[in-house]
Amino acid sequence: MERVIQHALLQLGDSSNLRSIRSVEGGDINQAAYVETEENAYFVKTNQNVPRHFFRVEAKGLKEIEASQSIAVPKVYYYDEPVRGSKGALVMEWIEGASTKDTKRRLGEQVALLHSSYGDKFGYEEDSFMGLLPQPNDWYEDWIDYYHDGRLVPQFNMAKERHYLPEDRKQRLLKLMERLPNWIDSSVQPSLLHGDLWGGNWMAGPEGKPYLIDPSVLYGDRCFELAFTELFGGFSKEFYEGYKEILPIPDHYSESKAVYQLFYLLAHLNLFGEMYGTHVDRILKRYVD
Ligand code: ADP
């Protein structure tokens, strides 16, 4: 790890002496460390066993959110792609702080500002990841086409390959995928979305300022993001109050919410296994017979 870090520091232009390296727990995928030099403090992720564009697309997503000037993200200093068995690395600004009284409200307001940053099309220009699952991307004129072809179909195919699709689940899923326009509003605008907004992917920085981390960005219906925030909890009443001060929750959200949660549940089914199957089936039974 130290060699990778020293190489990265030299590449980003910090040749001052290393003061300390300490590992940081909490990530699911990468090795992470706090790195302090005489000049600066950094958060560094490394990994040998990820596809080449893994850190590149994370860095790109962070920069895209930063450019929207809606919500803070750690500044990206450097990334290196893993090649021929060597480790890839992503070096960013070290964020440290604690929530204050209004952090969650500010998080809600600023996520709504992020969602008010619009693109021209739906999807994304680069293939990305959901955790370690590949997320194929492209630009689409139509949101429902993207949600169908770009999100549900790849998860459906993965689930089939991994034997997580017993016949009943498979048939219902196919029916639901055919009937998406029943529940999803096709007239939505392409909002910039974090794309993986669960409770572990934001943190509080200095003075309780909210930061988003670990994005998997796309342009899409903002209800897709809201639906995920509600799936496993972790976002408080203040978060939604803050959000609603900037943007109203669309009427169609109550209809589309579980249809959107289905994507994240299928990804969890494919990543972690059948323990997510019951939840998938519950949603499918509610929407299709
Ligand atoms: P992984 O990609 O392996 O899931 P994360 O990006 O989730 O890793 O980071 C792991 C943990 O490190 C997070 O839960 C968070 O506590 C901490 N962390 C992430 N980014 C920073 C940062 N820029 N500064 C300080 N700590 C961070």
ipTM: 0.97
Q: Tell me how far the alpha carbon of residue 208 is from its chain's centroid.
A: 21
Q: Within 6 Å (CB) of ligand 1, which residues are found? A: 24, 26-30, 32, 43, 45, 74, 92-95, 200, 203, 213-214
Query: Is it the case that residue 27 has pLDDT exceeding 80?
Result: no
Mean pLDDT of 115-138: 96
Q: Does residue 180 have a pLDDT over 80?
A: yes
103-288 CATH: 3.90.1200.10
Place of tokens 């990820």: 50
Residue ranges of domains in the chain:
2-93, 103-288
Altogether, the residues listed in the chain come to a count of 289
With a pLDDT cut of 70, the percent of the chain lying above it is: 100
| Range from 5-14, 25-34, 259-268 carrying the lowest mean pLDDT | 25-34
Q: Is 251 exposed, middle or buried (0-12, 13-18, 19+ CB in 10 A)?
A: exposed
Most distant CA atoms of the chain, gap in Å: 65
- Is residue 120 annotated as a catalytic residue, yes or no? no
Query: CATH topology of 2-93 equal to that of 103-288?
Result: no
Enumerate residues 6+ apart whose C-beta is below 8 A from 47: 29, 30, 31, 54, 55, 82, 87, 88
pLDDT tens column, 204-222: 999 999 999 999 999 999 9
Q: Among 1, 65, 213, 271, say which to mutate for ligand 1: greatest number of ligand atoms within 8 Å of CB.
A: 213
How much is the mean pLDDT over the chain? 95
pLDDT in tens, 79-93: 988 887 788 899 999
The residues with which 91 forms a beta bridge, in sequence order, are: 44, 78
Closest atom of ligand 1 relative to the 47 alpha carbon: 3
CATH dotted code for 2-93:
3.30.200.20
The count of other CB atoms within 10 Å of the CB of residue 42 is 23
- Which of 62, 61, 35 is closest to 46 using CA atoms? 35
